[in-house]
Amino acid sequence: MRAVLAALVVTAVIIVLLVSYDTRPPRRANPESALRTPAPKVTRRPHPPGSRTAEGRMFNTPYSRIQVLATVYRGRLIDVRTTQLGGNDTHTNALNARAEPILREEALRAGNAEIDVVTGATTTSLMWIEALQSAMERASRG
């Protein structure tokens, strides 16, 4: 479980870099701007029977609110969705539009990577990883 999680650090970095073209984060989170993830354009395969889905706890930073939904099947992360990302609308929209396909793909490949920690990772990606860990723990507990 931890190896899978660690492997996703790099993915989270991708996403944050994708959306972080403004250099100054908003001074405080605007709770109104937290959006539910819109329905994805790609068709999802249904989760296999016996898989478990859980939403992790909400992580707050001065700049953002992050919450993640994880689906675990036989101890392995098979799906992840960012359900809350407060902050500014540009970030929220960009993340919703771009993150999910990347995360889905990366999650499926993650089994082999063995990285404990990444130096140079961004602030938001660190929080995103914690949000994912929380969701995975809840999904694994059932």
Partner 1 sequence: MAERRVEHVMGMPVVVDVRDAGVGADAVDRVFEWLRFVDATFSTYRPDSEIRRLDRGELALRDAHPDVREVLARCERLRVATGGYFDARARGPLDPSGLVKGWSVDRAAALLRAEGACRFCVNAGGDVLVRGGPWRVGVQHPHERGRIAALLSLTDAAVATSGTYERGEHIIDPLTGRAPSGALAVTVLGRDLATADAYATAAFAMGERGPAWTARLRGCGAMTILAGDRVVSTRRFRRHRLPLGGAASAPTPPSPPACGSPPSWRP
List contacts with partner 1 (CB under 8 A): 9-11, 13-14, 17-18, 20, 22-25, 59-62, 102, 106, 112-124, 126-127, 130, 133
User: What's the distance, CA 136 to chain centroid?
Assistant: 11
CB of 60 to partner 1, least distance (A): 7
- Indicate the residue among 51 and 90 with the shorter CB distance to partner 1: 90
Q: Which is nearer to partner 1, 108 or 115 (CB)?
A: 115
Residue placing its CB nearer to partner 1 in the complex, 51 or 55: 55
Least distance from partner 1 to the Cβ atom of residue 39, Å: 25
Comparing CA positions, the residue from 72, 71, 67, 93 lying closest to residue 82 is: 67
Distance in angstroms (rounded) separating the CA atoms of residues 39 and 46: 14
The closest of 52, 70, 88, 72 to 128, measured between CA atoms, is 70
HSE value, Cβ hemisphere, 13 Å, CA-based, for 79: 16
Rounded to a whole number of angstroms, the minimum distance from the CB of residue 83 to partner 1 is 19
Which of 59/96 has CB closer to partner 1? 59
From CA 33, how far away is CA 84, in angstroms rounded? 9
Shortest distance in whole angstroms from residue 86 CB to partner 1: 14
